[in-house]
């Protein structure tokens, strides 16, 4: 997302953050000790009050403002007890502890002004749909304590390299960052879908969502760890489906500290980032050194996309190219119509050229997917130039391999919002919000029911009788393991030259040295349990896979 805002906006946000709390407010700010909980977990809640109140009732609300619980507690003014509180946390005293009841999985809020939020997960983790709430993006832009991961709202215009989850959301973050997805969530949670919600950090654990049929990425899902991306890809490669209702998706690689209380991202300051592995540097995912193109995961990326609300823009929405797409059923949209949905950021895909009327043509060969379809597109200003230069946002549906799941990507940062920035009307706030809702339901229902999501004639993306699904690059077994892992190359790849093991902090803990074999065994028995990254060097290619050591 762009990092330069006008001074007026900055001063307004700064004054808003530091405004005096109303004397009648019980909660000035606060936070919980974790981002997400299972029912039965005990949450610690930290509340800062403008003055001391005894035996006050603090209510708990769902995303749709339903009161689902309450506590009676004493509240009092809190003092920030840590230096650099944006990174180390505010260090408030615990106000009360709360055992999470058997609530429907979703996002919840403490207090009548909804300042303190947390996520309740599903106890059994078997819901058809998993929604990922963009907690990393919220934390990245949150400037409570004085700094965020951005200069524009950090003190002295000096951004932080790490930000704490254990601090309140600033008023600016509450107003701006929640707006990216709450309109969609409020609407979707009114319906009777079997849905669970998890945080970005929960994506690091594949067990949290592996039993779902669909994973939905909402809002502005900008910061992803390597483990989260690998788990997302594994989910789709296993034949499950994904819906991406987000723009500027997978823009920065991030990581957490060991306790998962901090989000770390150095961005352009790669030398300051002390992580040893070049594959874990917290830079743009599109950087070649990370060896993990965003296009390979979600079919689009931000460098091929555009800013949609600049002076150089197209239709403030998607020009329809596939009116016969099943995703548009019930909309009465025709070829060349515009689906109005204003957004400040688009992701885009690769083009091989343009047709006779200057509509773009997707470069299927370069992407390497067995099927991809461009439902609609808009154009706007490129992100890497100061002067107006045309670039594109693309609404795509694709399937990587015959055995993999399907991905529908609206590539739109304000699809799920009521209102965007610069006065933009988001997907749930513009004149075509009714159509946006129909299309959103079409995506989800057709994937749930295993119906066609490509336009007719049906896509040729299936195995013939004498074909088998392509195997993985390398076979790693058993995985998980109690310590001994066997790595074998697929016949289409060169021999194994070198194997390296890295821990989640980017420290190299094993190297096989140079060799040339088709099969290798590594023993991690002396190491502690947890997630590790295996780097495989084969010829001039490098592959990274996640392995899990169990007790």
* Tens-level pLDDT at each residue, the chain (551 residues): 544 333 334 334 433 434 334 335 799 999 999 999 999 999 999 999 999 999 999 999 999 999 999 999 999 999 999 999 999 999 999 999 999 999 999 999 999 999 999 999 999 999 999 999 999 999 999 999 999 999 999 999 999 999 999 999 999 999 999 999 999 999 999 998 999 999 999 999 999 999 999 999 999 999 999 999 999 999 999 999 999 999 999 999 999 999 999 999 999 998 899 898 999 999 999 999 999 999 999 999 999 998 887 766 788 899 999 999 999 999 999 999 999 988 889 999 999 999 888 899 999 889 989 899 999 999 888 776 666 678 899 999 999 988 899 999 999 999 999 986 666 688 998 889 999 999 999 999 999 999 999 996 655 565 433 333 333 456 787 877 888 888 877 655 567 778 888 776 567 788 887 777 778 888 888 888 777 878 787 776 667 777 878 77
By the 10 Å C-beta count (0-12 exposed, 13-18 middle, 19+ buried), 280 is classed as buried
Sign of CA dihedral 48, 51, 55, 57: negative
- Report the b/e string of 354-380 with b at 16+ CB within 10 A: eeeeeebebebeebebbbbbbbbbbbb
Please compute Rg for the chain using Cα positions.
24
pTM score: 0.81
* Ramachandran bin of 302, using left for φ above 0, alpha for ψ from -120 to 50, beta for the remaining angles: alpha
For 155, half-sphere exposure in the C-beta direction (CA atoms, 13 angstrom radius) is 9
Q: For residues 159 and 139, what is the distance between their CA atoms, to the nearest angstrom?
A: 13
Determine the pLDDT at residue 532: 80
Q: In sequence order, what are the residues at sequence separation of 6 or more whose Cβ sits closer than 8 angstroms to the Cβ of residue 522? A: 484, 485, 487, 499, 501, 510, 512
**For residue range 450-496, what is the model confidence (pLDDT) as tens digits?**
999 999 665 556 543 333 333 345 678 787 788 888 887 765 556 77
CA angle 500, 501, 504 (to 5 degrees): 140
DSSP 3-state assignment of 285? Answer: coil
Contact (CB, 8 A) for 88 and 166: no
Number of Cβ atoms within 10 Å of the Cβ of 27? 23
Q: Report the candidate in 31, 233, 55 with the shortest Cα–Cα distance to residue 115.
A: 31
Q: Could you read off the pLDDT of 200-249 as tens digits, one per residue?
A: 999 999 999 999 999 999 999 999 999 999 999 999 999 999 999 999 99
Helix, strand, coil share of the chain (percent; to 5)? 20, 35, 50
Q: What is the pLDDT of residues 137-180, one digit of tens each?
A: 999 999 999 999 999 999 999 999 999 999 999 999 999 999 99
What domains sit in the chain, N to C, each tagged with a CATH number?
A: 22-117 (2.60.40), 474-549 (2.60.40.3080)
Size (the chain), residues: 551
Q: How far apart are alpha carbons 371 and 454 in whole angstroms?
A: 9
Return the pLDDT at 343: 84
* Contact partners, residue 423, CB within 8 Å, separation at least 6: none
Q: Looking at 278-366, which runs of residues are DSSP E strands?
A: 301-307, 317-320, 338-340, 345-348, 351-354, 360-362
Instruction: Round to whole Å and give the CA distance between 459 and 372.
Output: 9
């Amino acid at each position: 997302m762009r990092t330069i805002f006008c001074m007026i906006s900055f001063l307004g946000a700064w004054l808003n953050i530091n405004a005096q709390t109303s004397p009648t407010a019980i909660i000035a700010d606060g936070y919980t000790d974790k981002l997400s909980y299972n029912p039965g977990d005990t949450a610690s809640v930290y509340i800062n009050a403008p003055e001391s109140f005894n035996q006050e009732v603090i209510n708990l609300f769902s995303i749709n403002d339903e009161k689902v619980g309450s506590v009676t507690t004493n509240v009092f003014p809190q003092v920030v007890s840590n230096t650099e509180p944006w990174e180390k946390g505010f260090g408030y005293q615990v106000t009360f502890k709360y055992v999470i009841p058997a609530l429907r999985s979703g996002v919840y809020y403490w207090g009548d002004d909804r300042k303190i939020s947390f996520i309740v997960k599903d106890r059994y983790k078997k819901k058809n749909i998993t929604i990922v709430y963009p907690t990393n993006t919220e934390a990245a832009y949150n400037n409570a304590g004085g700094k965020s991961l951005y200069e524009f709202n950090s003190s002295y215009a000096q951004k932080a390299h790490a930000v704490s989850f254990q601090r309140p959301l600033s008023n600016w973050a509450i107003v701006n960052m929640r707006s990216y997805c709450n309109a969609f969530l409020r609407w979707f949670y009114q319906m009777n879908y079997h849905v669970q919600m998890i945080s970005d950090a929960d994506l690091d654990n594949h067990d949290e969502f592996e039993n779902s049929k669909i994973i939905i990425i909402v809002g502005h899902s900008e910061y992803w760890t390597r483990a989260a991306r690998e788990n997302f890809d594994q989910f789709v490669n296993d034949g499950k489906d994904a819906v991406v209702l987000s723009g500027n998706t997978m823009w920065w690689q991030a990581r957490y500290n060991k306790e998962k209380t901090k989000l770390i991202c150095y961005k352009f300051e790669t030398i300051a980032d002390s992580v040893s592995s070049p594959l874990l540097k917290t830079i743009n995912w599109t950087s070649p050194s990370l060896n993990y193109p965003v296009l390979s995961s979600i079919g689009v990326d931000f460098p091929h996309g555009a800013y949609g609300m600049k002076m150089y823009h197209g239709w403030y929405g998607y020009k329809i190219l596939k009116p016969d797409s099943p995703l548009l059923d019930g909309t009465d949209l025709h070829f060349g119509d515009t689906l109005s949905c204003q957004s400040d950021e688009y992701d885009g895909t690769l083009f091989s050229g343009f047709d006779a009327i200057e509509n773009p043509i997707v470069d299927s060969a370069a992407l390497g997917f067995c099927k991809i379809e461009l439902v609609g597109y808009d154009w706007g200003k490129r992100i890497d130039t100061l002067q107006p230069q045309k670039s594109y946002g693309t609404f795509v549906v694709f399937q990587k391999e015959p055995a993999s799941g399907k991905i529908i990507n609206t590539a739109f940062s304000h699809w799920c919002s009521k209102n965007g920035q610069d006065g933009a009307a988001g997907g749930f706030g513009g004149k075509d919000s009714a159509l946006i809702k129909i299309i959103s339901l079409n995506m989800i229902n057709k994937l749930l029911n295993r119906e066609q999501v490509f336009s007719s004639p049906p896509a040729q993306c299936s195995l013939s009788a004498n074909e088998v699904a392509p195997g993985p690059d390398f076979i790693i077994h058993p995985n998980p393991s109690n310590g001994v892992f066997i790595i074998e190359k697929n016949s289409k790849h060169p021999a194994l030259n070198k194997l390296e093991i890295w821990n989640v902090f980017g420290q190299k803990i094993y190297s096989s040295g140079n060799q040339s074999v088709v099969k290798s065994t590594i023993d991690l028995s002396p190491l502690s349990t947890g997630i590790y990254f295996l780097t495989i060097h084969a010829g001039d290619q490098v592959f990274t896979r996640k392995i899990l050591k169990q007790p």
